[in-house]
Amino acid sequence: MRIAIIGSGRIGSTVADLVAGAGHQLAIANSRGPESLTELVSELGMTARAADVEEAARFGDVVLLATPLHAYRDLPADAFAGKIVIDAGNYYPERDGTVDELDADVTTSTELLAAQLPGARIVKAFNTMFFETLGAEARPEAPREQRLALFVAGDDDDAKQVVCELIEELGFAAVDTGSLTAGGRRQQPGAPLYNRPLAAHDAERALQGLVTP
C-alpha cells in the first residue's frame, strides 16, 4: 500500500518508521519542504521518499496527518479527494490558540478537518498514544489480546476497516470508538481513553463503560 505522512514531528516520524518497517511505500512531507527531510528519509530506508504536501497527498492511498491543528486550513483539498485520511492530530489550546467551536464542544477537531477536506474519507486514529509508547510497543507477532489498543473513529466503514487493518499489521489492536462525532470526543485530550495504554480487552471494556447508558 502507498502511504503518505504529512508532518515529521514525533507522531509523524514514529508512524513513518513503523510503516517503512512493514514494507509499505512511503512519502513523507512537512511544512519546511522535502530538503528538510533528507536525514529522516535516509533512516527510514529504500521504501521512503520526501515530498511536498500536495505531492504526498496525491501519492498516498492512505494519508496520515500529524500536524498542529491550525495547519488544516492550508491543506490543498483537491489533492485529498477520494483519499483515506487519518487524522492523528489533537487540539491543544496552549499550542493552537483557542477555537471557539471546540472550546464550546460544538464540534470536534476532526470534524473541522472533514469540512476542510470534503472529498476525503476521514478516520481519527493514532492520536491517543504517546509517541514513545507507539514506537516501543508495536507487537506484530503477538496475538491481539497481548497488544496495546489504538482507537479508531469514523463515519466511513470501509475507510475505517482499512485503517484498522493497517493498525493490526503494525502491531497494535484496533478498537472502534464510533463515529467522528461520538468517537472523536472519546479520543480527544482529556477524555478517559486518551493517553491511557490499555491492552485490547481492557480497552474494549473501558469503551463499553463509556457507551453504556
Q: 117: domain CATH number? A: 3.40.50.720
The residue range of the domain holding 113 is: 2-211
The pLDDT assigned to 161 comes to 98
Counting the structural domains of the chain, the total is 1
How sure is the predictor about 92, in pLDDT bands with cuts at 50, 70 and 90?
A: very high
- Residue 25: Cβ within 10 Å count: 17
Q: Is the pLDDT of residue 71 over 80?
A: yes
Q: Is the pLDDT of residue 211 over 80?
A: no
| Strand runs labelled E in 7-101 | 25-29, 48-50, 62-65, 84-87
pLDDT above 70: percentage of residues in the chain:
99
Q: Is the pLDDT of residue 101 over 50?
A: yes
Chain segment 116-162, per-residue pLDDT in tens: 999 999 999 999 999 999 999 999 999 999 999 999 999 999 999 99
Average of per-residue pLDDT values in the chain: 96
Q: How far apart are CA 180 and CA 194, in angstroms?
A: 15
The pLDDT assigned to 212 comes to 58
- pTM of the complete model: 0.96
Q: Is the pLDDT of residue 210 over 70?
A: yes
Closest by alpha carbon to 112, among 128, 99, 130, 126?
Answer: 99
How sure is the predictor about 209, in pLDDT bands with cuts at 50, 70 and 90?
A: confident
Q: What is the grid cell recorded at 140?
A: 506484530
The sheet with strand 48-50 has its strands ordered as 48-50, 25-29, 2-6, 62-65, 84-87, 121-125, 149-154, 173-178
| Span 197-202, average pLDDT | 96
Spacing of C-alpha 42 from chain mean position: 23
Q: What angle do CA 71, 121, 8 make, to 5 degrees?
A: 35
How sure is the predictor about 213, in pLDDT bands with cuts at 50, 70 and 90?
A: very low
